[in-house]
Structure 1
Amino acid sequence: MALLLGFLLLLGLYGDTMSEGPPPSSTYIPEVWNEFPPTSYETRDSYEAGPTGILFQIVHIFLHMVQPNAFPEDILRKVVQKEFDLSTDYEKPENVVLILKIIYYEIGIIICAVLGLLFIILMPLVGFVFSLCRCCNKCGGEMHQRQKKNGAALKSYFTLSLLVICIFISIGIIYGFVANQHIRTHIEKTRKLSESNFNDLRTLLNATPGQIDYVLEQYTTTKARAFSDLDNIKLLLGGGIFEQLKPRVVPVLDDIKAMAEEIQETRETLVEVNSILTDMRQLSANLNNSLSNVKRNLEQALTDPMCSVHPVMTTCSNIMNSLSLLNGSIDFDQLPSLDEQIGNLNDTLQTNLSSLVQKGYRSFNAIPGIVQNETVNVVSDVKMTLDSIGSDIKNISKNIPIQDKLSNFIRYLNDTENYIHHHLPTLEEYDSYRWLGSLVVCCLLTLIVIFYFLGLLCGTYGYDQNATPTRRGCVSNTGGIFLMVGVGFSFFFCWLLMTIVVLTFVVGGNVEKLVCEPYQNKMLFQVLDTPYLLNADWKYYLSGMVFNKPDIHLTFEQVYSDCKENKGIYTTLKLENTYNISEHLSIKEHTGNINDNFENMNIRIDNIVLLDEAGRRNLMDFSSSGIDKIDYGAFMAATGKNPTKVNLLSFANDLEVKANHLPPGNLKQTLKNNAGILRNIHRDEIIPLQKLMSAVHQKLKELQQKSSGLGVKVANIILFLDSAQDFITNRISTIIAEESKKYGNTIISYFEHYLQWVKISITEQMAACKPVATALDSAIDVFLCSYIIDPLNLFWFGIGKATAFLLPAIIFAVKLAKYYRRMDSEDVYDDDVETIPMKNMESANIGSRRH
């Protein structure tokens, strides 16, 4: 009960400390703060009885059969409210009704107790009468056994029945030994249990101030994060504005930059093409001269006299007719000149468009720096505001009157612990007496059952079925004597054993049904939470004790359940009725100032020029440079032809073949020499010319593709440039306002989330009262019910069962002893004559004698 007192003291302590409004609905905890430091406790959350728990469950089932009625809430309420007082007038109708309800609830226990009392009263009386009766040679006291035809069967039946009964008695005795030792073992653990609970309560009390400081100190982390963002306003706010403008600005600048590169590349391409055309004209002229020389040599060779001879004449004629093919096919002098376009591009390149674009990039990229420069004063003001918030939050810890209360409660806790430690040795001393007494009880039953077992053992082992009752052996006779000694001890001690069983049954059964079970299913709390029960002036006793406001709905069941779930004291005791954390942690005034600072920021970004007029004129000049009006078709056609009308290699090969058909001589040799010259011309002049023509063809083709729609491209670039410049000019102020608000909300959100985290920590995690529920469980559920009542109930259950089975054991032992003990007389038989029983050896006058 001292632990229960500690529980109530802890409730009173926190009733005077602090309170808060309803906890926030959101449970979001930003990653800015560390996890709330957990508190570890020594006492286990639950208690396991181990293998003996099965035996306890058996007793619970028996108790439920004996006492199946529901928990008497109404009766208990009336008893607590002292509405039931027999000393005044027990004949009042309400008292009579209440008595009847109590009797109805206790009817099972009453019946069992009455049966136990009858057993206590009747067994000694029956034993006394039975002893007198046997002394008078009645009730089986006569040392004479009648012979029966089913005697062997009866002996076996009595033996087996007594053996089974002794086994049941032994099981009950084992229950008693187990229960007795269980109580002793766990009473020895009580000191450790109480110490661990007190240590946990001290841990709770000592950790709470540190938890408060920890929560408040986390403001430093929050402020550091906010200061970091303020110091990085260039990237956060300026970068946000930059990113808003980037999709409209950067693509235009990239297009202009690409156009500047295209102008330079186009000029270089045209200059290169123009140079190649000059080389091509020179090569073409050289080719024509070379072909003319070969043609003249061949014409002169064909004047040879051999050409007048008939077979050679045909060959010479064919060669003469093919000489017209030895001419160039292209006149490059007819192609248009590119000097005009090159001159226009040279004029265009007088303006460095690339540098103008880079200037536009620099102007645009300077936005974050401008923002930083423009917000120096604002950042300084916001930092001052945040410092003042920190001062307000740190002052909260001074306004919570917890230290003094903790000191007072620690004193009460120490006094309670000293009280328990002072009386615990007395409890252990009394338990040693109880243990010794219970051990004696179990040993008495053990002694009785040992006599029975010895009687069965000796009687069964020493029994000789061929021996007559008067001639039975010593071992068999000893077995019978053991059985009768067991009967005597049973009569002598059974009433005492049953008295102990009845007393422990009434106490243990009622405590189990009225305390342990309703505590576990929380019905006991529901009774305590009955309005005006514990105090006629208080609707809710707990709220009246904690807040002195009995109308607040604060119940024992709710407090116990919340503590069992390890919720914070703030939520558990609804301390918002005393100290509202939300009001003390409100920073609305400060956040309003921060919002005003950011909303009223005057950031001027009005000097951003993406491309000046010179750059625009440069683009227009490029679009009118005439590169899109070049006669690309003429160039493509000229450079796509073969430089000669005939393939010189084919012509040379054909000429050589024809020369080979001629007879040897100057004509044949001259033709072969000219064929070799044509091959050399192809190698030295045609191939280089073809390479130049291919290069010009490819470059002009690419240039044609680039210059296609040049005017439209430039017009679109200028259009997008104007649009981007207008967007910057007209929308920059709106974007600045939006980004400033977003940036300010980010800064404020750190503190809003911090306060939310503070509320969650205080209401749900700080001073988590699980040790209180654990202490209450240790006092009632573990110490009272598991350490004492459960084994106590197991004790009377086992001893009661063993004692109850003594009654049939007496009957069967008395019956069986006749078959084991040596008789003084026995039945006498004549041959073929009906058996005549003899009571006395001296009075026998009929038939023969057998001793």
Structure 2
Amino acid sequence: ARLLTASLSHSQVPSVEEVLKALAGLPRSDFAEMIRQGNGTFNSIPELAVERMAQVIQDLRGDLAGTAEKVQSIADGFPLPDYTRPASEALAKAEERSQPYLRQVERFEHYRWIAGTVLCSIILLILACYGTGMALGAYGLAKREDPSDYECRGEAGAKFLLVGVGLAFLFSWLLILLVFATFLVGGNIQTLVCRNWVNQEIYKFIDTPGNLPPSMNLTRQLNLRRDSNLSSAYRECKSGAGLWEVLQLDGSYDLDEHLKTPKYTADFQKRLGEFTANLGDVRLLRSEGRQDLETFARSGVDEVDYGRFQEEMKNPVVQTSLPGLARNLEGLQKMQRNSTLAGRLAAEARALWHMQNSSVQSQEALVAKLGESVQFLSRLAPHLKERVKRTLATTASVEARLPVQAQQILRQELGCFTRKELRYFAQYLNWVGQTLREDVASCQPLATALDNGRVILCDRIADPWNAFWFSLGCCTFFLIPSIIFAVRLSKHFRPIR
């Protein structure tokens, strides 16, 4: 019976009554749910930041659209129309005044063809008379053996030659006057205008003061700068320069001042300085969980003597093995001849087996579980207060710093976005300035118009005109020796009577 007494002595185990009273009702909150909510709060920060930044981005886009309108409004104050209007009006007036002369030009073109055809026909008629006379006269000379045929052919050849001489005398003065008139006009145009136009001497002549009347001062009419002239303007326009560069409008219109980046980016900078992103109250640990941790830290768990707990739990629940004692009783019961005593031994053996299965095993399981808890607490308890304090401090620090750092990050990202957009906008303004100076309102069409005028006057009018009088002059020049030759030849072809 002494062996069946419990080996665990509750009097030897340190009292934990005060600790259990302090821990009564804990935990009052679901830590797993709080951790899930804390993770959810932390993970929802990007979505919350996107929601808070949506309005800011929309405002920045509105500012950008307004800035684009401001840049477009520069065209209203652009001074190029003031400089191009006189030339445009002059060209428009010239085109309007030239319209009534188009039909006259067509009519005179018709007359030109008629006159050219008549003159060429006269020359051809004279040549035909000369050719026919020479052919008949030569044929008559070849037929001298037949007097009748010779006289007829020779007389006819001489008459044709004299007819050619008469036509030459009749029209030679007219041809000479026509050649002189066309030479006087075409030669002077070719020498004085076209040749100087090709080597650009005509522009120097126009630029020289006193060569043209004051009313024909093209430099003033075209609004060229005082230190510029038509020659340099033509060369610059020919190379593809814009009117801005040719007219040097920087002195009257400061384009760089109108395209300064800070003038359009002030709203961006102001909005960036006023930006605040309120992410709300970020809570990673609710007050109930915080109180539970503080209560657990103050409960005195770290003051319990866990060494004595572990020493006591090394002892078995009972001092002897109940299964071994029960098997011994069963062996004695089998050896006992007294049925009454054998029945009592069997009953005691069954009672021991029942005690082992119902009480001792459950107590051993509880003691083992208690041992694990004691071992865990023995490792945790020495640093419990420090860990709880550090955890609470870290949580509070994260809750306090997270909105601030998130706002700083958002400000940095917004600043990066703004600087990137401003760089793009600065590049755009530089492109606008370069385009306005070099590409917009290029004066190359003006140089092309002048070149086209030279082509029309010199290549299309003067060159055919000069070719006409030169060819007509050559024909007229050979009329005089042809007259002498025809008269002498007619005497030779005429038969001697």
Which AA in structure 2 matches 1:485? V
Alignment check: 8 A CA contact 1:581 1:759 kept: yes
In the TM superposition, residue 598 of structure 1 has moved relative to its aligned partner by: 4.1
Residue 127 of structure 2, aligned match among 426, 449, 454: 449
> How is 1:517-528 mapped onto 2 (pairs within 5 angstroms)?
517-528=195-206
Provide the secondary structure at the position in 2 that maps to 1:472. helix
Does residue 477 (structure 1) correspond to residue 155 (structure 2)? The answer is yes
Change (3 A) 1:821 1:734: farther
Provide the secondary structure at the position in 2 that maps to 1:800. helix
1:789 equivalent in structure 2? 462
Alignment check: 8 A CA contact 2:176 2:476 kept: yes
Change (3 A) 1:591 1:490: same
In the TM superposition, residue 510 of structure 1 has moved relative to its aligned partner by: 2.2
> How is 1:411-430 mapped onto 2 (pairs within 5 angstroms)?
415-430=93-108
In the TM superposition, residue 794 of structure 1 has moved relative to its aligned partner by: 0.6
Distance 1:429 1:587 in 2: 62
**Of Structure 1 and Structure 2, which has the larger fraction of its residues in helix?**
2
Distance 1:581 1:375 in 2: 36
Residue 244 of structure 2, aligned match among 567, 570, 577: 570
> How is 1:233-248 mapped onto 2 (pairs within 5 angstroms)?
none
In the TM superposition, residue 511 of structure 1 has moved relative to its aligned partner by: 0.9
2:334 equivalent in structure 1? none
2:188 equivalent in structure 1? 510
Distance 2:100 2:236 in 1: 32
2:322 equivalent in structure 1? none
Gaps of 5+ in 1: 1-351, 610-724, 825-851
Distance 2:152 2:110 in 1: 43
Question: Across the two proteins, how many residue pairs are aligned to each other?
Answer: 347
In the TM superposition, residue 765 of structure 1 has moved relative to its aligned partner by: 4.0
Does residue 755 (structure 1) correspond to residue 433 (structure 2)? The answer is no
Alignment check: 8 A CA contact 1:570 1:764 kept: yes
Q: Give CA-to-partner distance per residue, 1:412-444, whole Å, 9 cap, x none.
A: 655433422223444444555554444433232
Residue 70 of structure 2, aligned match among 361, 380, 392: 392
Alignment check: 8 A CA contact 1:462 1:476 kept: yes
Distance 2:275 2:231 in 1: 56
Change (3 A) 1:536 1:599: farther
1:343 equivalent in structure 2? none
TM, length-normalised to structure 1? 0.34
Distance 1:462 1:735 in 2: 120
Residue 372 of structure 1, aligned match among 40, 47, 50: 50
Distance 1:571 1:767 in 2: 10
Alignment check: 8 A CA contact 1:563 1:772 kept: yes
1:591 equivalent in structure 2? 265
1:550 equivalent in structure 2? 226
Which AA in structure 1 matches 2:476? T
Does residue 582 (structure 1) correspond to residue 256 (structure 2)? The answer is yes
Provide the secondary structure at the position in 1 that maps to 2:195. helix
Which AA in structure 1 matches 2:95? E
Distance 1:543 1:366 in 2: 72
1:498 equivalent in structure 2? 176
Distance 2:283 2:118 in 1: 105
Distance 1:572 1:407 in 2: 15
Does residue 816 (structure 1) correspond to residue 494 (structure 2)? The answer is no
Which AA in structure 1 matches 2:161? L
Alignment check: 8 A CA contact 1:508 1:789 kept: yes
1:801 equivalent in structure 2? 474
Identity %: 30
Distance 1:608 1:434 in 2: 102
Alignment check: 8 A CA contact 2:206 2:212 kept: no
Distance 1:807 1:582 in 2: 75
Alignment check: 8 A CA contact 1:508 1:792 kept: yes
Superposition CA RMSD, Å? 4.7
Change (3 A) 1:478 1:521: same
In the TM superposition, residue 802 of structure 1 has moved relative to its aligned partner by: 1.3
TM, length-normalised to structure 2? 0.55
Change (3 A) 1:406 1:511: closer
Distance 1:816 1:593 in 2: 104
Gaps of 5+ in 2: 1-31, 285-397
Distance 1:608 1:506 in 2: 105
Change (3 A) 1:410 1:524: closer
Q: Give CA-to-partner distance per residue, 1:488-522, whole Å, 9 cap, x none.
A: 43344334323322332232122112212332333
Distance 1:410 1:547 in 2: 12
> How is 1:667-678 mapped onto 2 (pairs within 5 angstroms)?
none
Distance 1:594 1:394 in 2: 19
Q: Give CA-to-partner distance per residue, 1:647-674, whole Å, 9 cap, x none.
A: xxxxxxxxxxxxxxxxxxxxxxxxxxxx
Change (3 A) 1:366 1:457: farther
Q: Give CA-to-partner distance per residue, 1:558-599, whole Å, 9 cap, x none.
A: 444555566654344333343343333434233244246447
Change (3 A) 1:574 1:384: same
